[in-house]
Structure 1
């Protein structure tokens, strides 16, 4: 299905590209939207579809296996207190899954990352997480190559 309007996930990677496969790609979200959440990844279906059920059964399985693999690596390398998984598509109606490492010390916890901050960000904790991202990125790319 072609988008009826400009789609940022069709026009660009949607973040820092970690791995691209024929059907999907994994990116790490960068910039202001991820500043308080360094372990914020997306699994993006390459073809423009809006809903998970737009995929064939085998494609659904392939997509969820990629989401699970990203979660597994995030848990191993970033050691979050919780991993949030979400597929919303209200703002960008192109199928993508958010895989977000969450910590009890993060500025929004336990609320969703899109809610209002509940406390100031912990700069020291964020810096420590940032330092671990290259190894996490490399592990995701290696596992899903």
Structure 2
């Protein structure tokens, strides 16, 4: 885990493409972008990325920025919940691999690969492309 500067951070680039290796952008808020992930252990997983200046930790945001980021994360979570109807949602803000503020928003189901605990570490499986695009469009329609 190393320090990332503005010049090194892929999330600080001025362009905000609609599709990247991570997935498809389903939400462009005032302070964040959310990408529906093309790799996932469960159906209904997105990453909400802070769009402002380079920040690694949420505590480095102003109170107003933190409030907006959290609210936009919940907007995305609500759409995932309403689309897939999981009994639980998980939120994970780490940044160990990509040190730029972002929160993983994940639907959780009984019997999923983490059944009762955290999802496994490591790279999740690649989703079926047709289903991935259909699911991303369904969540986007709710946003």
Structure 2 counterpart of 1:84 = 90
Q: Which runs of 5+ in 1 are unaligned?
A: 141-145
- Equivalenced residue count is 128
* Larger displacement relative to structure 2 (68-77 or 95-104): 68-77
Greater than 4 Å deviation, 4+ residue runs: 11-14, 129-133
Cα shift at 1:109: 2.1
Q: When you count helix as a share of all residues, which structure comes out higher?
A: 1
Structure 1 residue 5 displacement after superposition: 6.0
* Distance in 1 of aligned mates of 2:29 and 2:41: 28
Q: Which of 7, 13, 16 matches 2:9?
A: 7
Q: TM-score, normalised by structure 1?
A: 0.73
RMSD: 2.8
Whole-Å separation in 1 of the counterparts to 2:112 and 2:7: 35
Matched, 1:19 2:22: no
Instruction: Tell me the TM-score normalised to structure 2 length.
Output: 0.74
SS in 1 for 2:25: strand
Change (3 A) 1:62 1:40: same
Please state how far the C-alpha of 1:137 moved relative to its aligned partner. 2.3
The CA deviation string for residues 61-119 of structure 1, in whole angstroms up to 9 with x for no partner, is 00010111112122211111211101011111100011101111322222322437xxx
Q: Do the aligned partners of 2:37 and 2:47 also contact (CA within 8 Å) in 1?
A: yes
Instruction: Indicate if the aligned counterparts of 1:82 and 1:103 stay in contact, CA closer than 8 A.
Output: yes
In structure 2, stretches of 5+ residues that fail to align are none
Structure 2 match to 1:69? 75
- State how far apart, in whole Å, the 2-side matches of 1:35 and 1:97 are: 15
Q: Alignment partner of 1:106: what SS?
A: coil
Which whole-Å CA distance do the structure 2 matches of 1:132 and 1:21 have between them?
Answer: 20
